A and B are shown apart, each in its own frame.
Chain A
Amino acid sequence: MSVVRAFQLPPSTESLGIELVSEPLGPPGSSPFQAATTATATPIVWPAFGRDGASGLLDALRSAKASLDRLPAQGIADKVGEVGERFGDPADAIRLEAEGRVALESGLSAASAGLVVDRVAREWSRARLASLLQADFPDPSVLDGFVRADNGDSIHAVGGSLSFHIGSGNVPGVGATSIVRSLLVKCPVLLKPGREDIALSCLFARALAEAYPDLGRAVAVVYWPRGRGGELETLALERAERVVVYGGNALVRDIRGRTRVGAAFVAYPHRLSVGLVGRELLEEETRARKVASDAAEAASAYDGRGCVSPKVIWVETGGRVEPREWASLLAAEMDRIESEAPAAPLDVASAATLQQLRGSSELAAAAGGENAVFSGSSSRWAVLFEPSPDRAIELTCPGRTVVVRPIDRLERVPDVIARVAEAIQSVALAAGEGRRAELASRLVDVGATRVTSFPRLAWPPAWWRHDGTAPLQALVRWTTLEP
């Protein structure tokens, strides 16, 4: 029987874990209770650390800092990028292994898993990482030592000697990207990946260690279920100079409270994305259908789990294709994608929410409302047409579910989302060129941090300002040498 190894440790530290802990890996999204009752569950194993072992692991990571410092940042980007490119190469064995493991461990269908690996790996290439470095540090050599600034000071961006990154989401690729960012600023990293992000995190660390042992020594990946981090989590929070958390508010609050005051704390809490479609794109059906197709791809990517999938789309009235009809076009595209790359079963909470949304929408329609529910044979996607444009976004839609709302003028959308703007990740804006700039600045006013298009929405580039922050700059402190 196969076993999921949920860790990847630097070579010298593998014996430090005191025991391997195992838990069944049930069907994707299942609770431990379900997993325990499922005969076909795959055991998932990770090492538990005592205080000494944890201390040894963190010491080993910290000592790898010297080898990172010996390389120029640009050189690290090249090496990491070279490893990243293997994941983008369909002929590479590790790419195949990644697709297989992502499908098994995250529950995404093979086709969805293949797409995810392909698209995230694109952002790990040498060229993309060079662009990322450049975007955050116009002169990347500030990471290598003091660089004279225009004002006469010399500045040096220092990444620190130990960082602790905690992923809790179920989006594959987040962990590996987090490793990459830490290495680019020359900081050794302990990563606790999210439950469904184990595969890419471990494989990336392994590939790195195989190709460049000096880099591999600076990366440890250890999974544990939330609340069971034991000594390793405690000690990592005591010692890390940078703590990065991806997850829900409760987790962020918990980790923030346990992070020592002097450490830099970077949080990427829950977000969601939305879309806007202007009437000028709805004048001919072919174009309307193209927008719907792009929106459906974004909504279906990562099975809609990612914060970069659109959950609510406002569609302007007055075009030849009216919003409700556009919703049906969107549904047709969702159905097509479902047949090409089926969605994974939903976890219980998401499935429960979807039942509530569908049922209450149908009831509202039965009561004479203009609500409509579009869904196909699969109960894993739905397009819900809601006639009330101004109603607060109350709860995001689970999985591949999108709410479409009509609106008389797109210019009103910023006001509608203003009160939840903090929660908005990205806005896909499908509108004529003449309107985009004006609409984008209105969106800026309510706090949007990324305005993009539907085809790009789900796949932000390596250098994106993640939740409005420069991702590498967030990981460094600056040291100034004054004359």
Chain B
Amino acid sequence: MDEGRVSRRNALKYLGLLTVSAAGREFLASWLPMQLVRGDGHRAPVNISGMHHESQEPEAVATYSPQFFNPDEFRTVEILAAMIIPTDDAPGAKEAQVANYIDFVVFSAAEFEPLLQRKWIDGLAFLGRESQKKFNKSFREADEADRVKLLTDMSAPERDPNVKHEGFAFFSVAKDMTVEGFYTSKIGLIDVLDYQGMNYMPDFPGCTHPEHH
């Protein structure tokens, strides 16, 4: 149970406060369509879903099978994502299944943005060629140190805008989508960053540090 979130518990406490005042009761009556009637006849605070309180848990997902990348490509995507956001003392792209997310988004791009599919196919092909040239192996079979070296080279323009690299455009897409996929997942946003918005808070203390005031 995530102490920090306590959204369900907070919500019940918050809703409990509503029934205390006349204003709160009238509000509940006019605005919220569902009320839970307990067996003993007392009206409990509103049903959570009636207040449009979304579950904060991700939906249970059956095992995901890649829909766009072939098995070798998908393995490469997994490796790339784990290189960008690794598992260290906190969960990473692997635990958050970022490769599934990337595959799903790239697959879904067919209708309106097929260029995104091209970027990945071409990018992965580039990665494979470079890896063969430098290490005589595919990217996914190369040593970790070699892979890091290649990715570091490809990302050089990040560190120096005067430098160019043929693989930089693909590096940028892979990095952006990995960061996006990780930090919008429950693991990234809640477990790692401990995001506290979209919750029910009874008050907003703001800054609690005397030295800032």
- A and B together in one complex: no
Q: Interface of B with A (CB < 8 Å)?
A: none
Q: Interface of A with B (CB < 8 Å)?
A: none
